[in-house]
Amino acid sequence: MRSARSQNDTLEDVLRWGGHVLAVIVQDEYTHDVVVRAPSGGILVFDTT
């Protein structure tokens, strides 16, 4: 999973990497958590603003 972080600085990068968005959880008007299934099958959560 370390390689996922080092290569993906934006949500667009995550999608190009092959991540599949499972859910978007709205925290407030500026912050969202994006739950992604990695190509390897693991689950990652990205905090976006």
Contact call for residues 17 and 8 (beta carbons, < 8 A): yes
For residues 6-18, average pLDDT: 82
pLDDT at 19: 86
pLDDT at 48: 85
CB count, 10 Å around CB of 8?
A: 18
Q: What is the pTM of this model?
A: 0.74
Is 4 a residue whose pLDDT tops 80? no
Q: Average pLDDT over the chain, rounded to whole?
A: 85
Angle at 37 between CA 35 and CA 41, to 5 degrees: 150
The span from the first CA to the last CA of the chain, in angstroms, equals 22
Structure tokens at 14: 């995550």
Is 1 a residue whose pLDDT tops 60? no
